[in-house]
Structure 1
């Protein structure tokens, strides 16, 4: 198990407190991020699987029989119901609810879950005519937004290896290097240092203002090109992230000035991150400064978002449960972790940032400057 039984049990208590507020008798959890956080078992949805958490008593996990050994190895839970691949998972789920008498109460359901399709929801209502279904959307994001010490240790390890991978890749890159070769160097360090097999990052040419989600190419980079490197190291599913621009060969004075401006703007933003700070005010420190300096004519994207656990099977490659935007009306809390970023004209700087009781801590430690890759 990646966490102690005591930590999992505290998570259960936290969720149950919200269940009591909403008078929910049993909660159905099926989204992969939340399943992992509560049970330790983050299996994909090749076939439907779910956890049933009653207000009192032991939770039960329902999943394919073929995955039983993995569940036993990964989870703190001992109660399970398994099914053969020719059985209908939803029938097994509703039968379990009925057999345990849970079908007569109020069933909590995350109606934002990407695993609860419209057809699946309709079938659930049809099979449980006596059950009152209560919306539990948004609550599981809320209870996991502040990270535990062990979660922070995994994010910190990912950040440490990401720093090392970046340093090694820049040292080996230069004119003629391709984006794919740079990505391969990063991934090699991640694997050698014990991180997860996963997407290693967004490695692409820095051009214009819409390069942040650019494609990976095989063309050789020439002197003066900007290699945009967003590293996505994962440790047990927990991600740290960092962006740095790397100029191939040599950089112009204009490129150096732009990098210095971006860093100065973001430094002021990060310095203001502390518990109780308003998210929209933190956002404005970067957004308004970028526009006022003429670095962007428009700034349509967010300036930061939550970091945490990202399963391989999730459609969410970023956690937008907390984002920094002009209309963000939430406040920062100690223990929150964010990916904060600024970008303009092919260059981007970002950090993995922990909100501490006294301010902020930058978990990514790579030097904040424009890098030059000149290896031949």
Structure 2
């Protein structure tokens, strides 16, 4: 079987070396990872699961995977792991018992175990089962390392985010070319879905296309109400390429937009552009947040500002329970500092107009990976205006 991992061996070695250095520093003999996004990061393959699955990383040597036997073949193809490091269990067998057998077969020391206490897969029942299975072993939380390490994107990861950003931009162009007054939001999202997949996006990960949103209706629902002349359409595309998601929001007006709406859009964009310019390594998140938060309130574009102004972007597992990654957010209380090559979805909404971008932190400030024109978009007689 030909192996087709997403990343180079050099990239996987960099990740393995980093976590093993941290394991030595914390005197941990093996790290057990079970959240799909994190498993993927270190071995190149993971599957959303109903049964517990594990990636076990030893202090020295290659990791092993323990997963359903029906997924063994796919793991062999897409992960970088040698076949002898992949252990499958039948659906009536115990994942934890299979893990113990695999660790013993590889001779891994299990006295001091690292775990990700922030993993949404590690339920209380599952942790209790591990605690019982490993007897007197001690457990050390590795969630802080995992979160921080994954947040700085490598050049290979940035290339995937650039590809998903291009898909988002191109899908908006195609959407605006085809929609017209009288279409419902459902018809509009169907068009966007078709083009996202045609342009190379993963599965059916498209995003939300709905009637206009506001501060109390940030996540509106797709419906069948016809959009008449003068209506606003909220376009939020979140395509993935090889699991890496870029995100963009744009307001679309059906018909010639009144001047006051264009003025609102231009003001929002100007405030947000100042925020992007400030996104340099070393600056505190709360300082970046304050630019857009205070700017929108001062301009009278919001009566109050209840939500974050940005959050982490990267790899998202298909069929995950977590559709957005709030590992790093932008709020008035967030004092963490930005680092180069962190990537975020930066967004704001005012007077029903939503703008957002996929932004990477650079030494010169935030660089937009999404490149759709930053203005109120209009649909006139089947053409983009």
Of 41-50 and 96-105, more deviation after overlay is shown by 96-105
Return the alpha-carbon distance in structure 1 between the equivalents of residues 72 and 130 of structure 2: 24
Return the alpha-carbon distance in structure 2 between the equivalents of residues 106 and 9 of structure 1: 23
1:364 corresponds to 2:370: yes
TM-score (norm: length of structure 1): 0.96
Residue 254 of structure 1 and its aligned partner are, at CA, apart by: 2.1
1:66 corresponds to 2:44: no
Cα deviation code 1:263-308 (max 9, x no counterpart): 1110111111111121110100000111112211111111111111
Secondary structure class of the residue paired with 1:373: strand
Q: Rate the CA distance shift 1:122–1:191 in 2: closer, same or farther, 3 A.
A: same
Aligned to 2:224: 218
Matches within 5 A, 1:232-247: 232-247=238-253
Matches within 5 A, 1:15-164: 15-78=19-82, 79-100=85-106, 102=108, 104-164=110-170
1:328 corresponds to 2:318: no
Of 330-339 and 351-360, more deviation after overlay is shown by 351-360
Over 6 Å off, 4+ runs: none
Of 69-78 and 128-137, more deviation after overlay is shown by 128-137
Aligned to 2:172: 166
Q: Which runs of 5 or more residues in structure 2 are unaligned?
A: none
Q: Rate the CA distance shift 1:62–1:104 in 2: closer, same or farther, 3 A.
A: closer
1:202 corresponds to 2:228: no
Of 201-210 and 217-226, more deviation after overlay is shown by 201-210
Contact 2:68-2:89 at 8 Å conserved across structures = yes
Q: Rate the CA distance shift 1:130–1:100 in 2: closer, same or farther, 3 A.
A: farther
Residue 95 of structure 1 and its aligned partner are, at CA, apart by: 3.1
Aligned with residue 279 of structure 2, among 273, 277, 299: 273
Return the alpha-carbon distance in structure 2 between the equivalents of residues 189 and 104 of structure 1: 49
Cα deviation code 1:113-133 (max 9, x no counterpart): 111111111111112112111
Secondary structure class of the residue paired with 2:151: coil
Return the alpha-carbon distance in structure 1 between the equivalents of residues 272 and 230 of structure 2: 24
Secondary structure class of the residue paired with 1:251: coil
Return the alpha-carbon distance in structure 1 between the equivalents of residues 345 and 40 of structure 2: 21
Return the alpha-carbon distance in structure 1 between the equivalents of residues 105 and 256 of structure 2: 70
Cα deviation code 1:170-219 (max 9, x no counterpart): 12222101111111111111121122113311111114323331111111
When the two structures are aligned, how many residues end up with a matched partner?
A: 376
Of 200-209 and 282-291, more deviation after overlay is shown by 200-209
Q: Quote the RMSD (CA, aligned, Å).
A: 1.4
Aligned to 2:343: 337
